[in-house]
Amino acid sequence: MGCCNRRCGLIAGAVVGALVAILGGILFPVGDIIIQGTVETEAVIEPGTTAYENWVAAGAKVYRQFWLFDVMNPLEVLEYGATPAVVERGPYTYMTRYLARDNITFHLNHTVTFLLPNGAIFEPSMSVGTEDDKITSLNLAVAGAYSAIPTELHSIVETLIKTTNSSLFQRRTVKELLFGYTDPILRGDVGFFLDYNQTYDGPYDVFTGKDDIAKVGKIDMWKGSRSLGFWNDEYCDKLNGTDASSFPPFVNKKEPLFFFSSDICRSVSASYESTMNLKGIDVYRYSLHPSTLASPLDNPDNKCFCSNMKTTKNCTLAGVLDISTCQEGRPVYISLPHFLHGSPSLRTDVIGLNPHEEHHKTFLDVEPTTGFTLNFAKRIQVNMMYGPSKVITVLKKVKDYTIFPLVWLNETATLDDETAEMFKKELISRIQMLDIIQQNRFQRALQPRWRRGSKEPERRCRFQPG
Ligand SMILES: *[C@@H]1O[C@H](CO)[C@@H](O)[C@H](O)[C@H]1NC(C)=O
Ligand SMILES: *[C@@H]1O[C@H](CO)[C@@H](O)[C@H](O)[C@H]1NC(C)=O
Ligand SMILES: *[C@@H]1O[C@H](CO)[C@@H](O)[C@H](O)[C@H]1NC(C)=O
Ligand SMILES: *[C@@H]1O[C@H](CO)[C@@H](O)[C@H](O)[C@H]1NC(C)=O
Ligand SMILES: *[C@@H]1O[C@H](CO)[C@@H](O)[C@H](O)[C@H]1NC(C)=O
Ligand SMILES: *[C@@H]1O[C@H](CO)[C@@H](O)[C@H](O)[C@H]1NC(C)=O
Ligand SMILES: *[C@@H]1O[C@H](CO)[C@@H](O)[C@H](O)[C@H]1NC(C)=O
**Is residue 330 in a domain?**
yes
- Read off the pLDDT of each residue in 85-103 and give the average, rounded to a whole number: 94
Locate the ligand 2 atom nearest the alpha carbon of residue 220 and give its number.
Answer: 13
Q: How far is the CA of 95 from the centre of ligand 3 (A)?
A: 10
How many Å apart are CA 48 and CA 268, to the nearest integer? 31
pLDDT at 450: 41
Cβ of residue 258 lying under 6 Å from some atom of ligand 5: yes
CA diameter of the chain? 97
As for ligand 3, residues whose beta carbon falls within 6 Å of it are 119-121, 179, 197
- 426 and 344: one domain? no
Cβ of residue 313 lying under 6 Å from some atom of ligand 6: yes
Cβ of residue 199 lying under 6 Å from some atom of ligand 1: no
Pick the closest to residue 168 from 401, 392, 408, 403 (CA basis). 392
Residue 393's SS3 state is helix
pLDDT at 298 over 70: yes
Domain containing residue 430: 6-51+420-461
pLDDT at 143 over 70: yes
Cβ of residue 291 lying under 6 Å from some atom of ligand 6: no
- 156 and 266: one domain? yes
What residue owns the CA closest to ligand 3's atom 4?
121
Q: How far is the CA of 252 from the centre of ligand 3 (A)?
A: 40
CA 429 to chain centre: 29
pTM for the structure as a whole:
0.85
- 300 and 257: one domain? yes
**Is residue 345 in a domain?**
yes
pLDDT at 50: 76
- 133 and 174: one domain? yes
Cβ of residue 103 lying under 6 Å from some atom of ligand 1: yes
- 35 and 175: one domain? no
pLDDT at 8: 34
Which of 377, 397, 414 is where one domain is finished?
414
pLDDT at 424 over 80: no
**Per-chain mean pLDDT for the chain:** 83
pLDDT at 4: 35
Beta strands in 345-454 (DSSP E): 363-366, 373-386, 402-414
How many Å apart are CA 210 and CA 49, to the nearest integer? 11
Cβ of residue 400 lying under 6 Å from some atom of ligand 6: no
Q: Tens of pLDDT along 38-91?
A: 777 778 889 988 788 778 887 788 999 999 999 999 999 999 999 999 999 999
Locate the ligand 6 atom nearest the alpha carbon of residue 316 and give its number.
Answer: 14
CB 370 within 8 A of CB 355: no
Pick the closest to residue 299 from 321, 326, 323 (CA basis). 321
- Read off the pLDDT of each residue in 220-241 and give the average, rounded to a whole number: 91
**Is residue 363 in a domain?**
yes
pLDDT at 440 over 80: no
- 261 and 336: one domain? yes
What residue owns the CA closest to ligand 1's atom 2?
103
**Is residue 273 in a domain?**
yes
How many Å apart are CA 56 and CA 45, to the nearest integer? 9
Please, what's the b/e burial string for 258-280 (b: 16 or more CB within 10 A of its CB; e: otherwise)? bbbbbebbbbbebbbeeeeebbe
Q: Domains in the chain: how many in total?
A: 2
- 18 and 127: one domain? no
